[in-house]
A and B are shown apart, each in its own frame.
Chain A
Amino acid sequence: MTDAPQERRTAVPGLTVTQDNEFFFTAAREGRLEIQRCTDCKALRHPPGPACPSCRSFEWDTVTASGRCTLHSWTVVHHPQDPAFTYPLAVGLVDLEEGTRLVADISGVDHADLRRGLELEVGFAEHAHGEVLPQLRPAGTTAGTRGGSR
């Protein structure tokens, strides 16, 4: 067994889960994309934080996003390669329909088709440490945008 190739471990750090952001990861495990909302001024914010940068309120709840989004910018990563991903790896920054942005890896899109404004949807997939997180996919291909109409 000594000559078996050593399995490379992912360099992706584990999530830093706090009281400010736990909702996001819990919802993702359940297949929902949640956006933090200030309950005082109603401003949406992402990434999550403890206070509203518009009105400084610490009171917040979340809204469920539809998952509909358009591509704002992107990259296709070639090097270095981490064992948690398949390369070349497309990663996108999207404008969510609700107005906030989100970063996630892109699956199922020909890299030559990536362009600004491309319509995508947020789905969910297991990532480096088995955690379920958003993943961007072509519009109309994700089975469930669960809870989006709530």
Chain B
Amino acid sequence: MTSPFSGGAAIAGIGATEFSKNSGRSEWQLACEAVLAALDDARIGVEEVDGFALFTMETNPEIAVARALGIPELTFFSRIPHGGGGACAPVQQAALAVTSGVADVVVVYRAFNERSGHRFGQGPPPFAYNQNTDQEYRNWINPYGLLTPAQQEAFLARLYMEKYGATSADFGQVSVLSRKHAATNPKAWFFERPITIEEHQASRMIADPLRLLDCCQESDGGQALVIVSTERARDLPHPPAVITGAAQGVGPQQISMSSYYRDDIDAMPEVELVAQQLWRQAGIGPDDIDAAILYDAFTPMVLLQLEEYGFCGRGEARHFIADGNLEVDGRLPVNTNGGQLGEGYIHGVNGIAEGVRLVRGTSVNQPTKTIDNVLVTGGSPVPHSALVLAADR
């Protein structure tokens, strides 16, 4: 049984600024540039935009972008919380809006100076100092020295190693693979700069067991996506990336970055919940996924997500990777753009764009096999979201 909105909307345009460490211009301008680039890619007029779906963390509000670009009217605007965990959910919002007739052209964007401005890896974000229920969870981690995402995620990585015998070098496989893919992607910050597992192992410790090269980049840049009905997308220049699955998930006793009080802290029931919805909506299973963009803020989460999505058994991801499955011509090419470790960190939205390119057949690391279904995931261990993007066949 597929979902009523499954297949009814598609990503018809993608556009981005360069991904850098110092953009030299305002976040507002980055957002506007990305939106215009995505609309140009879709060959849709700017004045036709009638909806936006964004992160709550987005600092460039939809009305600022609409004003700057002279977009006259918006009938739909929505925000999704939980940072990268929610990365795919604005696309779900867009698909729901388009298939229900609330809006016709919905744009999703994420734009920031996350390296030259506030860096997520340096400490709590500005809103962390709001004293309300939303930030109350910080009482139980921040005062003890867990201040950054890497530090907060390290408990899970450590326990995963202890339970399944995984090592830092197993995590490093993801880093090496991402940098290999980035090395052939001119848009990637780490273009032509692959690394070896020895370099990963020699990189400095950040929050044991996470090393520097287990951590994604911090980047300046913007990425936008244009969502319209699949019917309309068929009349546009690029092959549609049809949204056949789009889901959100919160699991039992969920806490942002610190669901430490569940029986198994290395299991992520919110990811499993999203996976089940996707398979039901799209009428497929993990065996039907031809490529995946897995949210890689930190390398261990790629292993855990491979397991939660059912590509391999619990504790087996390191072997699944070592067997070459994630390579461009492997069973499940992963993060072919270089991911956020290699291409850039645009809070997962640049990964959605790569999912679109894989469906179009235009990735710089396009697998030789036919790509019918691509899984794109948001971050973990936070409330989660993901998409299945399909070729229109």
Contact = CB atoms under 8 A, between A and B. Distances in A.
A75 B141 CA distance: 12
B156 A73 contact: yes
Contacts of A93: 155, 260, 265
B131 A101 contact: no
A89 B132 CA distance: 28
Contacts of A2: none
A84 B136 CA distance: 20
Interface of A: 11-16, 18, 21, 46-47, 53, 72-80, 82, 84-85, 88-89, 91, 93, 100-101, 103-105, 116, 127-128, 131, 133
Contacts of A12: 124, 142-143, 147
Nearest to B205: A78
Contact of B205 (A11, A13, A76): A76
> Which bucket holds chain B's interface residue count?
35 or more
A103 B162 contact: no
A11 B124 CA distance: 7
B132 A13 contact: no
B181 interface: no
Contacts of B121: 80
Indicate the member of B145, B206, B208 with the most A CB atoms within 10 Å: B145
A105 B139 contact: no
Contact of A15 (B123, B139, B159, B206): B139
A13 B260 contact: no
A113 to B, nearest CB: 14
Interface string B251-295: 001010010110001000000000000000000000000000000
Given A78-B205, A89-B145, A16 B135 contact: yes
A140 B204 CA distance: 34
Given A12-B143, A104-B144, A75 B151 contact: yes
Contacts, number: 116
Given A47-B137, A73-B158, A104-B144, A53 B253 contact: yes
Contacts of A76: 205, 207-208
Indicate the member of B142, B204, B209 with the most A CB atoms within 10 Å: B142
B261 A13 contact: no
B158 A75 contact: yes
B124 A73 contact: no
Indicate the member of A13, A14, A89, A101 with the most B CB atoms within 10 Å: A13
A74 B146 CA distance: 11
Given A80-B121, A116-B162, A16 B136 contact: yes
Nearest to B208: A76
Given A13-B138, A79-B204, A93-B155, A103 B144 contact: yes
Contacts of A13: 124, 128-129, 131, 135, 138, 142
Indicate the member of B129, B147, B253 with the most A CB atoms within 10 Å: B147
Sort A-B residue pairs by CB-CB distance and give the 5 closest, nearest first. A75-B154, A11-B123, A76-B208, A73-B155, A73-B159
B122 interface: yes
Nearest to A89: B145
20 contacts: A11-B147, A12-B143, A13-B138, A14-B129, A16-B139, A46-B261, A47-B261, A72-B159, A73-B158, A73-B162, A75-B154, A75-B209, A75-B210, A77-B206, A78-B206, A78-B207, A78-B208, A80-B121, A80-B148, A103-B144
